[in-house]
């Protein structure tokens, strides 16, 4: 039989920790939540504290970086704010190694006492209280009838010597050394905190006297709040009802919190502030250098000090701005940010008839709930943000790229409310009957927007396009020898709109806006966007109306006349609306090129003749090699060869003259062309 004892010491320490925490900490509930459409939320906790108090908050590991980047603290009763402490991002084993007590390996009280060898403890038994230094635990045996019982005893060094205290006799064990006792409490606290691997505790110290209000605020990642609308379309009026969809994905209940929903996209990012960062430093070996004799230098310390004192302060923010930036910044134990001043987001309200008040905040817009809101942890809620009449009218919207045969039933809405309507889904009811779903982009007050929710089968649209080149509009001009030919292109799109219903229709035709094209239609668009024109056409019942959208575009081509071929110039000469001055200039260019071509032809003829002479002289040389020098035929060849040489030299001189003439004519042509400027 083996006697075992429960971990009395661990239980006692746990009770001590809970009792101490209850006496030192306070609870700060969430009182205010501001959700942004950019995926972050501002959470504010507020409450009263008494004296020197520590507030403990729990955050998920992935929230620590946002907390470190954004947390703001206020002691509104004149107190000061101490350090904000939190567990580092280190493994539990690494954390426990920093404590003097090993709480990981002991499986029993005896094991824990063994790890405390050399420490002083106070042990309470049923008979007495003994204090001494821990030596070691050991197993002993004792006969009880026919059985042998095994049990552990603690060897303890006391003032009376070494005594043995059976483990099962112990009622409580206390550590005499305060530091060791504190380490044991911290180690057990670290083990308890590590049970939730996804949570980290943050402890905030408030120092002061008496009861006073405090506030803690921070930003965390939150789901994007969304909007959905219901639009009731009657015969002569429209009514819109909007809801904000909010999710509480935190581990705290939102009980009667002041909730605000803010639209807009403020810049937000995550910076890794939680993970310890170390700078790699080079390792430098110590150097031993030869001893250098002492040196003596003349001093200029007073002059340097004088120049430094006279040096103007660097340009920058004025002292008042610096003082404001450092106002009541905490020292080792600093004042609360802003002291007792109230720190709130500056939100300007504008009332509306709904569960929310709307207001513009810079480039953002917020819906502030008029009544406190309660949403349980991991719960969602729909909150009404707008509920009022809105201006608008029914239209049919045709876009060939969406539906080539029919327009879409739609509404042209004007935000006549004082609220900024955030983009979202709209469920449309026409005469209390579901008509379809639509999407709308952000709609500021006073702005207009189209929405479509169904296919309008009562209207059919046929579209036909035609493009052509207006030859009569072709024009030519020459600037510094460069010919520019401009041609006008004409495009016509005809929309044939047929209304087969018994009701009048307002049809909006969306026509693509093409870069470089200019509208020439007599019918002007009702509005224009970055991508298209919108034309409004009224179509009576059982009638057909044609809409013709005409556009034109001028294209231009340039040609350097010095390198343009003759065929292209001939084409220019046949262009319509060619001015007499332009025609004369082009004809002169043709004539000058013909003169140059004539010289080139003469040069070619002369060069061909030189080639023939060369071939004949080669034949004569071969024949003369076979003849006697005093023969008559040989003498005839000599005379012929001499005559050809004279002709050869003459041709070479003429070619030289012709090439000079050619170069002169080409230069004259080039100068003439470069000097042309004709509109």
For residue 187, give both structure tokens.
Answer: 């180690």
The answer to whether 389 and 237 are in contact (CB under 8 A) is yes
Q: List beta partners, residue 551.
A: 491, 519
* pLDDT surpassing 50 at residue 121: yes
**Which of 12-21, 282-291, 568-577, 619-628 has the lowest average pLDDT?**
12-21
The answer to whether 87 and 193 are in contact (CB under 8 A) is yes
Q: Summarize the confidence of residues 136-145 as an average pLDDT.
A: 87
Q: What is the dihedral of CA 184, 187, 189, 190, to 10 degrees?
A: 180
The answer for residues whose C-beta is within 8 angstroms of residue 623's C-beta and 6 or more apart is 637
Query: Rounded distance, CA 521 to CA 490, Å?
Result: 11
User: At CA 136, angle to CA 131 and CA 139, rounded to 5?
Assistant: 115
**Which of 116-130, 313-327, 465-479 has the lowest average pLDDT?**
313-327
* pLDDT surpassing 50 at residue 337: no
**Which of 351-355, 357-361, 674-678 has the lowest average pLDDT?**
351-355
The answer to whether 190 and 146 are in contact (CB under 8 A) is no
* pLDDT surpassing 70 at residue 290: no
Q: Which of 123, 202, 201, 200 is nearest to 166 (CA)?
A: 123
* pLDDT surpassing 70 at residue 345: no
Longest dimension (CA), the chain: 166
Q: What is the dihedral of CA 658, 659, 661, 667, to 10 degrees?
A: 160
Q: List beta partners, residue 572.
A: none
Q: What is the DSSP letter of 186?
A: H
The answer for residues whose C-beta is within 8 angstroms of residue 510's C-beta and 6 or more apart is 397, 398, 399, 532, 533, 534
* pLDDT surpassing 70 at residue 224: yes
Q: List beta partners, residue 495.
A: 463, 547
State the pLDDT confidence band at 305, using cuts at 50, 70 and 90: very low
For residue 361, give both structure tokens.
Answer: 């905040």
Q: What is the pLDDT of residue 107?
A: 74
Judging by beta carbons within 10 Å of its beta carbon (0-12, 13-18, 19+), is residue 534 exposed, middle or buried? buried
Name the residue with tokens 């606290």.
189
Q: What are residue 13's phi and psi, to 5 degrees?
A: -65, -40
The answer to whether 490 and 528 are in contact (CB under 8 A) is no
Q: What is the DSSP letter of 621?
A: H
Q: What is the pLDDT of residue 303?
A: 44
Q: Summarize the confidence of residues 576-595 as an average pLDDT.
A: 88
Measured N-to-C along each axis, helices 178-194 and 8-24 cross at an angle, to the nearest 10 degrees, of: 90
What's the distance, CA 193 to chain centroid?
36
**Which of 9-18, 145-154, 292-301 has the lowest average pLDDT?**
9-18
* pLDDT surpassing 80 at residue 90: no
SS3 breakdown of the chain: % helix, strand, coil, rounded to 5?
25, 40, 35
Model confidence pLDDT, tens digit, residues 359-374: 555 457 888 998 999 9
Model confidence pLDDT, tens digit, residues 192-201: 766 666 778 8
Q: Which of 209, 216, 288, 220 is nearest to 251 (CA)?
A: 220
Q: What is the DSSP letter of 401?
A: T
The answer for residues whose C-beta is within 8 angstroms of residue 576's C-beta and 6 or more apart is 471, 472, 474
Model confidence pLDDT, tens digit, residues 469-511: 766 557 788 899 898 888 888 999 999 999 999 999 999 999 9
Give the burial string for 514-530 (b: 16+ CB within 10 Å, else e). eeeeebebeeebeeeee
The answer for residues whose C-beta is within 8 angstroms of residue 125's C-beta and 6 or more apart is 165, 169, 170, 171
Could you tell me which residue, 303 or 152, shows the higher pLDDT?
Answer: 152
The answer to whether 123 and 129 are in contact (CB under 8 A) is yes
Dihedral class, residue 39 (left if φ above 0, else alpha if ψ from -120 to 50, else beta): left
The answer to whether 556 and 476 are in contact (CB under 8 A) is no
Dihedral class, residue 432 (left if φ above 0, else alpha if ψ from -120 to 50, else beta): left
Query: Rounded distance, CA 286 to CA 388, Å?
Result: 81
The answer to whether 9 and 114 are in contact (CB under 8 A) is no
Q: What is the pLDDT of residue 350?
A: 29
Q: Summarize the confidence of residues 609-614 as an average pLDDT.
A: 88
For residue 489, give both structure tokens.
Answer: 């292109």
* pLDDT surpassing 70 at residue 356: no
The answer to whether 456 and 408 are in contact (CB under 8 A) is yes
Query: Rounded distance, CA 275 to CA 144, Å?
Result: 59
**Which of 96-110, 153-167, 241-255, 538-552 has the lowest average pLDDT?**
96-110
Q: Determine which helix (DSSP H) or strand (DSSP E) holds 553, and give its type and residue range.
A: strand 544-560
* pLDDT surpassing 80 at residue 404: yes
User: At CA 345, angle to CA 343 and CA 348, rounded to 5?
Assistant: 125
Q: Which of 550, 556, 551, 565 is nearest to 474 (CA)?
A: 556
Q: What is the pLDDT of residue 92?
A: 67
Name the residue with tokens 């983009």.
423
- Average pLDDT over all residues of the chain: 82
For residue 8, give both structure tokens.
Answer: 């009395």
Judging by beta carbons within 10 Å of its beta carbon (0-12, 13-18, 19+), is residue 260 exposed, middle or buried? buried
pLDDT above 70 coverage of the chain, percent: 82
* pLDDT surpassing 60 at residue 156: yes
Q: Tell me, yes or no, if the pTM score tops 0.75.
A: no
Summary count for the chain: helices (H), strands (E)? 10, 32
State the pLDDT confidence band at 291, using cuts at 50, 70 and 90: very low
Q: What is the pLDDT of residue 219?
A: 96
CA atoms within 13 A on the CB side of 58: 10
CA atoms within 13 A on the CB side of 530: 0
Q: What is the pLDDT of residue 357?
A: 57
State the pLDDT confidence band at 599, using cuts at 50, 70 and 90: very high
């Amino acid at each position: 039989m083996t006697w075992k004892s429960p971990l009395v010491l661990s239980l006692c320490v746990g009770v001590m920790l809970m009792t101490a925490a209850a006496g030192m900490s306070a609870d700060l509930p969430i009182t205010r939540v501001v959700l942004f459409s950019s995926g972050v939320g501002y959470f504010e906790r507020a409450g009263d504290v008494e004296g020197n108090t520590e507030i403990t908050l729990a955050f998920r590991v992935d929230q620590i970086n946002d907390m470190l980047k954004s947390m703001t603290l206020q002691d509104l009763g004149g107190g000061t704010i101490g350090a904000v402490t939190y567990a580092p991002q280190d493994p539990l084993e690494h954390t426990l190694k920093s404590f003097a007590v090993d709480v990981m390996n002991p499986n029993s009280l005896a094991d824990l006492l063994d790890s405390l060898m050399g420490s002083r403890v106070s042990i309470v038994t049923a008979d007495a209280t003994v204090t001494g230094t821990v030596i070691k635990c050991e197993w002993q045996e004792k006969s009880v009838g026919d059985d042998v019982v095994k049990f552990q005893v603690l060897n303890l060094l006391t003032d009376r010597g070494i005594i043995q205290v059976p483990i099962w006799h112990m009622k409580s064990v206390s550590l005499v050394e305060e530091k060791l006792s504190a380490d044991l409490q911290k180690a057990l606290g670290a083990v308890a905190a590590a049970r939730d691997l996804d949570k980290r505790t943050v402890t905030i110290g408030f120092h002061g006297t008496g009861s006073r209000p405090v506030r803690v605020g921070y930003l965390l990642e939150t789901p994007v709040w969304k909007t959905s609308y219901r639009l009731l379309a009657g015969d002569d009026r429209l009514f819109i009802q909007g809801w904000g969809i909010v999710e509480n994905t935190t581990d705290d209940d939102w009980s009667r919190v002041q909730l605000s929903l803010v639209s807009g996209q403020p810049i937000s990012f995550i910076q890794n502030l939680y993970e310890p960062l170390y700078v790699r430093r080079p390792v430098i070996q110590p150097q031993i250098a030869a001893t250098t004799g002492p040196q003596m230098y003349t001093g200029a310390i007073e002059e340097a000090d004088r120049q430094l004192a006279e040096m103007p302060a660097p340009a920058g923010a004025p002292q008042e701005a610096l003082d404001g930036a450092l106002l009541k910044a905490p020292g080792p134990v600093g004042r609360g940010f802003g002291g007792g001043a109230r720190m709130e987001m500056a939100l300007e309200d504008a009332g509306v008839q709904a569960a929310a008040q709307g207001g513009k905040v810079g480039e953002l817009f917020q819906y502030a709930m008029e009544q406190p809101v309660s949403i349980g942890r991991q719960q969602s809620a729909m909150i009404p943000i707008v509920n009022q009449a809105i201006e608008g009218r029914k239209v049919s919207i045709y876009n060939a790229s969406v539906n080539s045969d029919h327009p879409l039933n739609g509404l042209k809405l004007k935000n006549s409310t004082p609220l900024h309507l955030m983009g979202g889904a709209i469920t449309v009811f026409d005469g209390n009957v579901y008509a379809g779903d639509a999407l709308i982009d952000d709609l500021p007050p006073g702005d207009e927007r189209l929405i479509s929710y169904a296919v309008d089968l009562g209207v059919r649209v046929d579209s036909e396009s035609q493009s052509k080149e207006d030859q009569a509009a072709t024009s030519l001009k020459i600037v510094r020898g460069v010919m520019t030919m401009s041609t006008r292109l004409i495009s016509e799109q005809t929309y044939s709109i047929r209304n087969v219903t018994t009701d009048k229709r307002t049809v909006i035709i969306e026509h693509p806006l093409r870069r470089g094209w200019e509208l020439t239609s007599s019918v002007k668009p009702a509005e224009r966007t970055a991508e298209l024109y919108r034309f409004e056409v009224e179509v009576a019942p059982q009638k057909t109306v044609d809409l013709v959208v005409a556009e034109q575009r001028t294209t231009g081509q340039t040609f350097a006349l010095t390198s343009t071929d003759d065929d292209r110039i001939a084409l220019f000469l046949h262009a319509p609306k060619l001015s007499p001055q332009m025609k004369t200039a082009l004809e002169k260019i043709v004539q000058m090129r013909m003169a140059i071509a004539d010289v080139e032809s003469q040069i070619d003829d002369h060069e061909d003749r030189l080639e023939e002479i060369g071939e004949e002289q080669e034949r004569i040389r071969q024949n003369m090699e076979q003849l006697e020098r005093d023969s008559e035929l040989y003498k005839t060849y000599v005379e012929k060869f001499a005559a050809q040489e004279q002709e050869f030299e003459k041709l070479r001189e003429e070619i030289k003259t012709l090439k000079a003439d050619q170069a002169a004519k080409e230069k004259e042509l080039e100068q003439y062309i470069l000097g042309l400027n004709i509109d």
